[in-house]
Amino acid sequence: MTFCHATARGDNEFITVDSPISQYLAAFASVPAQTVVVGHTHMPFDRLADTRRVVNPGSVGLPYGHPGAAWALLGPDVVLRRTTYDTGAAAAALSASASDLPGIEFITANVRASASDAEALAAFNQTREHQARQRPGPE
């Protein structure tokens, strides 16, 4: 199993559940592992891309598509999990302890009410397409 923030070729590359297989092949070409765990978009998914399993466990504090924490149980298999928590209390605690953190208003607003999965995918896919146009060579 290999772990990457975004992809094996870049910490800021956007890869989503509906990214084309060609992007998966190129983004993880240097990885010998058959299972790769990624993050970056905070959107949970478990996808077979050609012969490689790519898993995004989601996010505990900045989820998209649902309130609460998204995470994965990793073992012989991968199981995506969700855990609810008091998002109002969490946002208040973040505001109180990190009031000088840049972007804390965005973070606490997202903890209280996350964007829908459709909204997040639309934004991420727009960025992914822009990144693909900027990248030299075939996708």
Q: What angle do CA 29, 30, 36 make, to 5 degrees?
A: 80
Q: What percent of the chain has pLDDT over 70?
A: 98
pLDDT in tens, 61-108: 788 878 889 999 999 899 999 999 998 898 899 888 887 888 888 888
Q: What CA–CA distance (Å, rounded) separates 109 from 139?
A: 35
Mean per-residue pLDDT over the chain, rounded: 89
What is the count of structural domains for the chain?
A: 1
Is the residue at 139 inside a domain? no
Is the residue at 123 inside a domain? yes
Q: Which of 6-20, 28-42, 84-98 has the lowest mean pLDDT?
A: 84-98
Structure confidence at residue 139 (pLDDT)? 54
Alpha helices in 1-139, H assignment, sequence order:
21-27, 87-97, 104-112, 117-134
pTM of the model: 0.83
Q: What are phi and psi of 59, to 5 degrees?
A: -145, 145
Give the residue-averaged pLDDT of 45-54: 95
Q: What CA–CA distance (Å, rounded) separates 22 from 50?
A: 9
Return the residue matching tokens 């010998």.
32
Q: Which residues contact 48 (CB under 8 A, 6 or more apart)?
A: 54
Is residue 24 within 8 A of residue 16, CB to CB? The reply is no
Give the residue-averaged pLDDT of 118-126: 85
Q: What CA–CA distance (Å, rounded) separates 89 from 33?
A: 40
Is the residue at 18 inside a domain? yes
Is the residue at 108 inside a domain? yes
Structural domain range at position 44: 2-134
Is the residue at 34 inside a domain? yes
CATH of the domain at 117: 3.60.21.10
Is the residue at 100 inside a domain? yes
Is residue 8 within 8 A of residue 27, CB to CB? The reply is yes
